Structure 1
Amino acid sequence: MVSCKVGEDYERPKFDEVSEDFYQKDSLLAQTKDTIDVTQDTIPMSNIPWKEYIEDPVLERLIDTALVNNIDLQKALRNLAINEEELAQSRANFLPSLNSTPASYRREYYSENYNNYGSNRARRNHGENVPESFYTERLEYSTALQANWELDIWGKLRWQKEAANARLLQSKEFKKAVQTALVAEVASTYYNLVTLKSQIEVAEKNFALNDSTLTIVQLQYDAGEATSLAVQQTKSQKLRSKSLIPQLQRRYTIMENRLNYLLGRSPQAIEIKESFDEVQFQNKYQIGAPLELIKNRPDVAMAEYELMAKNAESGIAEALKYPSLSIGASAGLNSFQLGEFLDPVSSGFALLNGSVFQPIFNNRKLKTNYRVALTKEEIAQLDFKEKLIGAIEDVSNALARIDKLKEEYSIAEERIEVTQKGLKDAGMLFRGGYANYLEVITAQSDALESELDLITIKKELLIANVELYRSLGGGWQ
């Protein structure tokens, strides 16, 4: 029986093109050691539960809410339940099926010209006086139990179970993938929200500063020390800085609505108490090796389980080319008289049958299905390879992004020091009459731009850390 099984057991393919390390990891991590620690005694980043990685009470509460209420995650859980039921059904295929007919009543009426050669016509031929229209030809009372069992000689049922199990594992990984993406998107949206809140505060501060400058220029104009052009240009700069505030507020509301959608609820205000300066970068986890992504990244694991399912479906398609053996049995009561129906001695019956079904010629369908199944398995293997290479690319991109953003952040911090000093000096020189309004406006614009740039770069760094965590397969624990 074992030697009769067809199909090949799954073996993970080896991809020679897949690197054993991430692209430029050593050089990138050497420059970003204050962001990512790669010492051997640290825990791989993907194995850290998201709560330990986030370390932000407000964001933790938001993610907790999303994990309970998010609609996509709830759908993933329902799909998981469906696959669990299908696996249970595939296991039950190994057992006999049992059906019953609790009670059956049958009465057949025929007429003289009906194409029937039953007992009444025979009696009529012998000269008996029998009815010619709508006479009772057959009367039957019955009840029965029927059982059927297909023997899994070629492993068809086993491969069906293997395919169902792979689909179940795939749905579990899909649920992990949805959760990983959800945690990452909630965190990214939250950081965008905190960024916009901080930018609004900077814009309001800058507007107040422009208003103060306009007041001074207006006083100078009244005293005959400035022209109307100076007043108009200073007022234009003030309005320009004022228009930035509703732009940022609009984006804040849209981002807030997006976060509420991820949390599975209608739009409402989200209170953010902490300052953007208090949000810190991660700096304590190692990234591991590329092949670890197979077990850490849900989408890569899903691609492998899809390959397992296609391998099992190839086994099913091959097994269908060979004979199938079924054993059937039935037992019950059958009588044409209701009074004797329940008497097992006079009305009981039992049947036992076996059948072998061998397909011979089916218009090449079985051969075509088998070859198509093999080709689909090859496609699934290519998809698996593509997912793995894409995952390695994601990690390498995230490392490069963090590396260059750290450089940008350092430059932005230095620029802020310069522009803030320039703004302070311009204000003092303007009040002392040693600088004109254009120099003050330029200094204010430069300071505003540098502050907004620093906030934006920090946000991108935070999101890059989240993206590295997601690309390594973290976030579903």
Structure 2
Amino acid sequence: MFSYKNNLIIIGLVFLLLQSCVPTRNVREVKTQLPESYQLEQGDTITSAHKKWNDFFTDPQLHTLIEQALANNQELNIMLQQIAVSQNEIQARKGEYLPFVNLRAGAEVEKVGEFTRNGAVEENLNIREGDAFPDPLTNYQVGLFASWELDVWKKLRNSKKAAVMEYLATVEGKNFMVTNLVAEIAGSYYELLALDYELKIINQNLEIQGASLEIVKIQKQAARATELAVKRFEAEVYKNRSERYDIKQQIVEVENKINFLIGQQPTVVMRSNQDFIEIEIDSVSKGIPAQLLQYRPDIRQAELELAAAKLNVQVARANFYPSFGIRSGVGLEAFQPKFLTSTPSSLLYSLAGDVVSPLINRNAIKAAYHTANDRQLQAVFEYEKTILNAYIEVANKLSAIENLKKSYDLKIEQVKSLNESIDISNKLFQSARADYMEVLLTQRDALNAKTELVETRKNQLLTRVGIYKALGGGWN
């Protein structure tokens, strides 16, 4: 006959045997190394990412649009609800490792066969002298019943911590969405200003071409020009008029894009009337690459998702171990309601503990464990990819800032030269020292150069928005 001590030894040996069968899988650590500076230049720790968007952008009309977008954008509001869902998940998992206490009240009636064990007992048993056993038998019960799984292996607590990490990752996802939304609003706003200026250039060019057309018509009447010259000038005027409607359509589409982002019906977007070319482009402080880990919401989101994945591995591993539970109850029970308060006769109570451990056919548990490890490795790669992408984005934008500045300076000189050549060609044409094709080509080159100048200026502004976003600014 086994003693109590021997039973404990056997249980311990069985537990050690089960624990030795738990699989182990190591996942490599994430690589977060970044260069000490951008573009092999000595950098400082001053970064524009710490600036709030309303300090980084100075246009009051743009401020209004961004504020409307942050309040009314549908995608952002959807993300806020996702955050609320993640917060509810924390509460749900927190409750799993606390005791469950339930109030139970019930009534039942039972009729058993006379030739059954219970029927035979009832037939020969009287509750009191002269009282027959009730048939059918009723039963009434009311009481409190509790159950509690002891979180010995921290499975439930790790599950709750994983939910917290996932919630924080969702918050960072919202911050990244805010960063993208601010950048998209600002980029669309500058694109709209650029289209307005292009339309202004087209209208100015049409005035110049209209005056040239009138001169050609007068020269034709004086036999100093041909019908061919008239038609070529007319064709150029029609071409630019057509382009004007293309630009107007683009303006409508960009306005409606902004209206969609700020969550309102299509309407005219209020914007600055400042000369687009004269908009100042302030410098941007790039800081050092290591600050991306601090300011980029998508990097912090990936980091938190990796932390949650590691905790989920611990949860999956704990499923191989035995689970310990405690069940208890206290209440009143009687076959008639009037006896419910007859204590201690109607008093009931219970206390039980159990240990459950997987023994045979643990395929599902193994699969869940391997899946958790695979997702952890996936989160490692995702984290590294996010860091690398952030660094490359900043490096590309820094290079673009330098090259666009040099390109813009050269285009300014090009436009200046072509504006002067227009006056020269018109004077030469009027004095019959240049043909109409020289005038046409000069005007066309000047228009193209001005359009390219506007496009370069727009790209400079968009690059400034892009570097602010790439550094991690805009969400705070």
When normalised by structure 1's length, the TM-score is 0.88
Q: Counterpart in 1 of 2:11?
A: none
1:321 aligns with 2:337: no
Alignment of 1:154-233 (within 5 A): 154-233=153-232
Cα distance change of structure 1 residues 344 and 420 upon mapping to structure 2, 3 Å threshold: farther
| Deviation larger for 358-367 or 452-461 | 358-367
Q: Distance in 2 between matches of 1:191 and 1:162?
A: 44
1:118 Cα deviation (Å)? 4.6
Q: Distance in 2 between matches of 1:367 and 1:121?
A: 51
**Which of the residues 81, 84, 95 maps onto 1:81?**
84
Q: Amino acid of the residue matched to residue 385 of structure 2?
A: E
Alignment of 1:361-372 (within 5 A): 361-372=360-371
1:21 aligns with 2:37: yes
1:117 aligns with 2:116: yes
Contact 1:207 1:241 in 2 (8 A): yes
Query: CA RMSD of the aligned region, Å?
Result: 2.5
Cα distance change of structure 1 residues 12 and 411 upon mapping to structure 2, 3 Å threshold: farther
Q: Counterpart in 1 of 2:72?
A: 69
Q: Counterpart in 2 of 1:35?
A: none
Q: Distance in 2 between matches of 1:152 and 1:16?
A: 34
CA displacement, residues 422-470 of structure 1 (integer Å, 9 cap, x when unaligned): 1121122223333222111111111111111100000011001111111
Q: Counterpart in 2 of 1:280?
A: 280
Q: What secondary structure, in the 3-state scheme, does the structure 1 residue paired with 2:345 have? A: helix
Cα distance change of structure 1 residues 61 and 76 upon mapping to structure 2, 3 Å threshold: same
Q: Counterpart in 2 of 1:143?
A: 142
Contact 1:119 1:137 in 2 (8 A): no
Q: Amino acid of the residue matched to residue 351 of structure 2?
A: L
Q: Distance in 2 between matches of 1:179 and 1:221?
A: 62
CA displacement, residues 397-442 of structure 1 (integer Å, 9 cap, x when unaligned): 1111112111211111110111111112112222333322211111
Q: Counterpart in 2 of 1:106?
A: 108
**What percentage of residue pairs aligned between the two structures are identical?**
30
Q: What secondary structure, in the 3-state scheme, does the structure 2 residue paired with 1:149 have? A: strand
Q: Amino acid of the residue matched to residue 168 of structure 2?
A: L
Alignment of 1:418-433 (within 5 A): 418-433=417-432
Q: Counterpart in 2 of 1:446?
A: 445
Q: Distance in 2 between matches of 1:347 and 1:289?
A: 76
| Deviation larger for 135-144 or 234-243 | 135-144
Q: Distance in 2 between matches of 1:98 and 1:11?
A: 40
1:158 Cα deviation (Å)? 1.9
Q: Counterpart in 2 of 1:131?
A: none
Contact 1:7 1:315 in 2 (8 A): no
CA displacement, residues 252-300 of structure 1 (integer Å, 9 cap, x when unaligned): 11111111111111211112232213422121x4212222212211111
Q: Distance in 2 between matches of 1:16 and 1:273?
A: 43
1:187 Cα deviation (Å)? 0.5
Q: What secondary structure, in the 3-state scheme, does the structure 2 residue paired with 1:271 have? A: coil
Contact 2:143 2:330 in 1 (8 A): yes
1:44 aligns with 2:47: yes
Contact 2:113 2:119 in 1 (8 A): no
Structure 1 outlier segments of 4+, above 6 Å: none
| Deviation larger for 467-476 or 144-153 | 144-153
Q: Distance in 2 between matches of 1:297 and 1:145?
A: 51
Contact 1:328 1:352 in 2 (8 A): yes
The runs of 5 or more residues in structure 1 that have no matched partner are 30-37, 127-134
Q: Amino acid of the residue matched to residue 181 of structure 2?
A: L
Q: Distance in 1 between matches of 2:377 and 2:118?
A: 64
Q: Amino acid of the residue matched to residue 261 of structure 1?
A: F
1:20 Cα deviation (Å)? 3.1
Cα distance change of structure 1 residues 228 and 355 upon mapping to structure 2, 3 Å threshold: same
CA displacement, residues 306-339 of structure 1 (integer Å, 9 cap, x when unaligned): 1101100010011111111111111111110121
Q: Amino acid of the residue matched to residue 21 of structure 1?
A: S
Contact 1:25 1:399 in 2 (8 A): no
| Deviation larger for 81-90 or 221-230 | 81-90
Q: Counterpart in 2 of 1:394?
A: 393
Q: Distance in 1 between matches of 2:294 and 2:360?
A: 44
Aligned residues between the structures: 446
Q: Distance in 2 between matches of 1:408 and 1:138?
A: 97
Contact 2:165 2:304 in 1 (8 A): yes
1:93 Cα deviation (Å)? 2.9
Q: Amino acid of the residue matched to residue 277 of structure 1?
A: I
Q: Distance in 1 between matches of 2:227 and 2:428?
A: 21
Q: Distance in 2 between matches of 1:331 and 1:231?
A: 106
Q: Amino acid of the residue matched to residue 99 of structure 1?
A: N
The runs of 5 or more residues in structure 2 that have no matched partner are 1-18, 126-133
Q: Amino acid of the residue matched to residue 190 of structure 2?
A: Y
Q: Amino acid of the residue matched to residue 449 of structure 2?
A: S
